[in-house]
Amino acid sequence: MRSGSVTYSALIKQEAKKLGFLFCGISKAEFLEEEAPRLESWLKKDYHGQMKYMENHFDKRLDPRKLVEGAKSVISLALNYYTDERQESQDAPKISKYAYGSDYHDVIKDKLKQLMEVIRAYIGDVHGRAYVDSAPVLDKAWAQKAGFGWIGKNANLLNKQFGSFFFLAELIVDVELEYDIAPTKDHCGTCTRCIDACPTDAIVGPYVVDGSRCISYLTIELKDEIPSEFKGKMGGWVFGCDVCQDVCPWNRFSVLSREAAFKPSHELLNMTQSDWQDITEEVFAKLFKKSAVKRTKFAGLKRNISFLVS
């Protein structure tokens, strides 16, 4: 089985590269012992805010074998989305770079489906499930185990060669593979740029983010009105936030994404401040039909824009 698992693992990584993934690494499906106390502490401090779904399926978050029956391997993947294009107007409300193009959920799910088909074609009757930021899977923990990099002080996964502008996803399968044993050293050192730059002081300590204070949470996850304490602290963001990544020294090594689906919409990048303020539901539906921005819905986006200008 070992020689077969080595061959299969090499094949999977080769196919992942063909599909455009930046990284592909494989870990044994097992209980995430180190993550358990961290997750429990984070939840007890209510750092998840209104994201009550984070309290659900605690055991499943820590053990992929409870998600996929007979799971033996976690195939971790990363897809680069970095672009050096920017919104034209400096006064316009800002959205995170990851939402400039097509919704990453759709793009990555399609690639995972293709990869799973190849795996089955070569190995046979393989059972498994694909996950793209939509199930109780601790993506960053598995990516770190697979050797992609280390979890930085802003709680993002960092890589020395490529920074942090990439999406994470997994295939959890019931076949034994060759596992990557590549523990990555922490290279944050004494740097505190992300902590110092966070507009809402969401990074409450090195490696700990109070999600309920994060601009991404406030503009996407929060369904109520944005608390008045964040007036003047949103930095112009209306969907997501890139501040802690933009200031990270490792992101000077970011390379441009080759994924055509992530190519920025110039109609979006050219929007002026007044275009955003006057946006109609019809324009919203057309402009963000294939974008992750639709997740906040028209009412949510209008709330976020109003909060900046009121």
Question: Catalytic one among 63, 110, 133, 174?
Answer: 133
Q: What DSSP string runs through the chain?
A: -HHHHHHHHHHHHHHHHHTT-SEEEEEE----TTHHHHHHHHHHTTTTTT-GGGGTTHHHHH-GGGTSTT--EEEEEEEE-------S-TTS-EE-GGGSSS-HHHHHHHHHHHHHHHHHHHH-S--EEEESSSSS--HHHHHHHTTS-EE-TTSSEEBTTTBT-EEEEEEEESS--PPP--------TT--HHHHH-TT--EEETTEE-GGG-HHIIIII--SPPPGGGTT-STTEEE---HHHHT-GGGGG------GGGSPPHHHHT--HHHHHT--HHHHHHHTTTSGGGGGHHHHHHHHHHHHH-
Please report, as a single letter, which amino acid is at residue 245.
Q
Residue 133 designated active-site: yes
- Tokens representing residue 200 in the block: 């809402």
Question: Closest Cα to residue 291, out of 306, 309, 275, 269?
Answer: 269
288: number of Cβ within 10 Å? 23
Q: Quick check: 158 and 188 in contact, CB under 8 A?
A: yes
Enzyme catalytic residues: 133
